[in-house]
Amino acid sequence: MRSLTHLSIKSKLIGMLLAVSSCSILVTAYLGYRSGQTNLTHRVFNQLTSVRASKAYQIEAYFKNIQNHTQTLSEDFSIIAAMQEFDTAYRQLQSAKVPDSFDQKIATYYRNDFLPRLGQGEQGSPILQSYTPKATASRYLQYHYLAANAHPVGKKHLLNAAQDGSDYSRIHARYHPIFRKIIEKFGYYDMFLIDPQGTVVYTVFKETDFVSNFEIGPYKDSNLAKLSAIVQESKEKDFSKIVDFAAYAPSYGAPAAFIAAPIFNQSELIGILAFQMPVNEINNVMTGNGNWERDGLGKTGESYLVGRDFLMRSVSRFLVQDPAGYAQALRSIGVKEPDINRINQYKTSILQQHVRTEAVEESLSGKQGTQIIDDYRGIPVLSSYAPLRIDGLDWVILSEMDLSEAYAPIYSFQNQILVYATFLMLLVTLIAMTMAYLFVKPINKLIESARKVAAGELTAIAPLETEDEFGELAKSFNTMVSSLRTQTNLVEQKNQENEQLLLSVFPAAIAKRLKRGEKDIAEDVSNVSVLFSELTGFSKLSASLTAYEIVAILNDLVNAFDEAAERYGMEKIKTIGDSYLAVCGLSLPYLDHDRRAIDFALEILAIMRRFNHERDFQLNIRIGINSGDVVAGIVGRNKFIYDVWGDTINLANALRAVCPPGSVFSCPSGSSTAS
């Protein structure tokens, strides 16, 4: 029987693999885990897709019902009659007398009740004159129904009619209770009657858009004004149009969407019926009236809407349930504080929360599907997405659940697998250790040789006389040692090159001390001259240049300064942006160090004049020179820099700071001169 030492390494590995079955354990566990994960992912995706499809159907049906309701009401005889009567009554009031006290009361209402709340959501301060009404009838009606209305802001619609004795108030008393009941029963935020000239002759809620004009008034750029123009231009019966959410100033900048339809008296367009869409109704559909878990979305799932501008069109679940946690999550991914403040102010993520995820981009391109993505909070989620089919709105719908919650069962299964696999691995390890002992003897010689190589004996050879794979390993090891010797020689060569580089960066004496391993290098140097210069006009020039051009200009100037410095025996210490620091007499003492520094300064001024002439620049330079004692040394641990300190440096810097451009301030040996 052949001894174990003569068996091939292949035979030995086969024996170990037969004994050590840990790979099969791990593979089996992994396959089980992956299978469970795949099945669970498929099930959660199906669940999210079902929720998403159900919500999409509800939202699409809801908008269709609103569209049908608006079209039907626009053809109702009472709406037609109300439009005609309100329009006629409004025109009659154009000849009414509006006392100054009315205008003052209106201004007070805007100043105290409207503009402060509007300003909270806008950048800057709204101007009073930009919002107050100008037409006589508008001033008259805003006084009676807004400024003089005893009901507080938000409840102005409770006034059935002003006691002014006008035809308008008589008509208002007849129709207003009916229209108020319509918006209450159907959940609309507000109802508008708009004449063909764009004037809002009636609203239920009585915000500042009441009796304003959408063609020339303060809200001419609003989405409702644009919708009014579209409906007027259509000139079609059985027509209705929805406009997407946008910040609406009369509602203090809150997001608002509108639907409108034309009002015809036979074939004559007499006005427009518009409704402000009920945000709460949309949120109720998307949140299931706050019952996410009942809808199958668990503790972290939600369904929401996103528009073409990648902004939410429904409220975030996390804002509803935990506003503070939601704000903290947004801060953690870098959302700016003003955006978070607006979300908190309006208590909604509609038009405030950006959602630019892969799922949103896919669905906006017309695709539907499922993916694992990072949501708008930066948290991994399972997402099911699809575009919505609503006339006039380019929205998409998503149903998502946090990956951590969706995979909670598989994580539990994973823990069980780890426990069982650990016990099996312990048993297999004991067997493997026993058998592995038989394999380590041939390797001992290799280990001994490796230790010699580690100790620096690069001539160590591993003598193994076996004819199996260990013998081949010994040959490879010896080849590696030979290669290592070659590499060591190359390293020594590189060290010499690095030494030359060190000498080019630091003075020779400093370089030698660095090579010896000194870390804290500092020395006092007497009788030196320090030159500190700063370019002027460079910041203004760099504003019109690219980064490459800026660096190229600085390189040309610094190279010219460096060449001049060598001629005058000056040592450049460093450049800081557009500043230049040089010292004379630091490494090599000079008796005329102060003269050399001044000559170098004059040379710099000449360089600057040539540079400006050649390139048609308006650059200049200010130079401060001082003589005295300095402290020089190495600063830094990972990145070294040779620097100088002391009052001499500080005074040179101060002289540079007060020196006029194109001049030199010098203070050699305690005296002060300027040139």
| pLDDT tens track for 442-487 | 666 666 676 776 666 666 565 666 666 666 766 776 777 777 777 7
Residues in the chain: 675
Q: Is 460 helix (H, G, I), strand (E, B) or coil?
A: coil
Question: In one letter, which amino acid is 456?
Answer: G
Q: Across 508-596, where does the E strand assignment appear?
A: 522-536, 570-576, 579-584
Start-to-end CA span in the chain (Å): 102
What's the rounded mean pLDDT across residues 166-171? 96
What's the rounded mean pLDDT across residues 415-431? 74
What is the 8-class DSSP label of residue 527? E
Is residue 623 within 8 Å of residue 531, measured between CB atoms? yes
The band of 673, judged by pLDDT with boundaries at 50, 70 and 90, is: very low
Q: Which residue, among 164, 222, 231, has the nearest Cα to 193 in the 3D structure?
A: 231
C-alpha 621/C-alpha 299 separation (Å) is 67
Is residue 450 within 8 Å of residue 473, measured between CB atoms? no
What's the rounded mean pLDDT across residues 345-363? 92
C-alpha 476/C-alpha 608 separation (Å) is 64
C-alpha 599/C-alpha 312 separation (Å) is 69
What is the 8-class DSSP label of residue 335? -
C-alpha 198/C-alpha 73 separation (Å) is 19
pLDDT value of position 339: 87
Compute and round to an integer the Cα radius of gyration of the chain: 42
* List of domains in the chain: 75-277 (3.30.450.20), 508-674 (3.30.70.1230)
pLDDT value of position 1: 45
Record the tokens describing residue 92, joined without a space: 């009659």
Q: Which residue, among 254, 256, 221, has the nearest Cα to 242 in the 3D structure?
A: 256
Over the stretch 514-531, which tens digit does the pLDDT of each residue have?
777 777 778 888 999 999
C-alpha 499/C-alpha 505 separation (Å) is 10
C-alpha 290/C-alpha 316 separation (Å) is 11
Beta-bridged to residue 369, according to DSSP, are 385
Question: In one letter, which amino acid is 391?
Answer: D
Lowest mean pLDDT among 115-119, 327-331, 500-504: 500-504
The band of 539, judged by pLDDT with boundaries at 50, 70 and 90, is: confident
Q: Is 190 helix (H, G, I), strand (E, B) or coil?
A: strand
Please report where in the chains the tokens 């010994």 appear, as a residue: 474
Is residue 173 within 8 Å of residue 112, measured between CB atoms? no
Q: Give the residue ranges of DSSP H helices in 146-166.
A: none
> What is the number of other CB atoms lying within 10 angstroms of the CB of residue 342?
19
Record the tokens describing residue 87, joined without a space: 């329009």
The band of 105, judged by pLDDT with boundaries at 50, 70 and 90, is: very high
Lowest mean pLDDT among 114-118, 125-129, 275-279, 475-479: 475-479
Of residues 55 and 3, more confidence is placed in 55
C-alpha 250/C-alpha 212 separation (Å) is 10
Q: Is the pLDDT of residue 438 over 70?
A: no
Over the stretch 609-653, which tens digit does the pLDDT of each residue have?
999 999 888 899 999 999 999 998 887 767 777 888 899 999 999
The band of 399, judged by pLDDT with boundaries at 50, 70 and 90, is: very high
C-alpha 400/C-alpha 376 separation (Å) is 11
**What predicted TM-score, i.e. pTM, was given to this entire model?**
0.60
Share of the chain above pLDDT 70, in %: 85
Mean pLDDT score across all residues of the chain: 86
At residue 455, φ and ψ (nearest 5 deg) are -85, -5
Please report where in the chains the tokens 């996103």 appear, as a residue: 306
C-alpha 78/C-alpha 57 separation (Å) is 32
Those residues with Cβ within 8 angstroms of residue 281's Cβ, 6 or more apart along the chain or in another chain: 62, 187
Is residue 570 within 8 Å of residue 605, measured between CB atoms? no
pLDDT value of position 300: 92
